[in-house]
Amino acid sequence: MKWYQKEIRLPAVKRGFHLITDLVESQLPELEDIKMGLAHVFIKHTSASLTINEDADPTVRQDFESHFNKMVPENAPYYKHTLEGSDDMPAHLKAAILGSSVTVPITNGKFNMGTWQGIYLCEHRDHASKRWLVVTLQGN
């Protein structure tokens, strides 16, 4: 059993849902050493999240953004955590709903995902900085 762990710095992106599968894989040459295993991808932030979903049609990502903005509105009168802007508390709530990690199977040195699946960085802040991921690989 082999174990690898690496931190990956993602570029700053605008608010929305962004495919990062290829970027993450390109930063992990260690994947080639694993015939069968798992990749655990964790984001080290509380106002962004990760999820796996449709990677072919960009309107899916637009619909995710629209839906979450309606489901978790800005400027709700009951928010107390507002010092960092009107998008801050909603960003924390969206991140809590979507989650801070995904796990992907590895087969023959590559992520083993469905034909239409990809890893999304879900950026919930209007003016976010670069984000950090911790990727832990394990396998034979």
- pLDDT value at residue 73: 97
Segment 52-71, tens digit of pLDDT: 999 999 999 999 999 999 99
Percentage helix, strand, coil for the chain under 3-state DSSP, each rounded to 5: 25, 40, 35
Query: pTM score, two decimals?
Result: 0.97
Q: Categorize the per-residue pLDDT at 50 as very low, low, confident or very high, splitting at 50, 70 and 90.
A: very high
| Residue 16 neighbours by CB under 8 Å, 6+ apart | 61, 62, 65, 123
CA angle, 61 then 88 then 50, to 5°: 40
- pLDDT value at residue 63: 98
- Could you tell me the CATH number of the domain that includes residue 128? 2.60.120.460
Q: Give the C-alpha separation, 80 to 106, whole Å.
A: 42
Provide the domain count of the chain: 1
Q: Give the C-alpha separation, 10 to 64, whole Å.
A: 20
Domain of residue 52 covers: 2-139
- pLDDT value at residue 94: 98
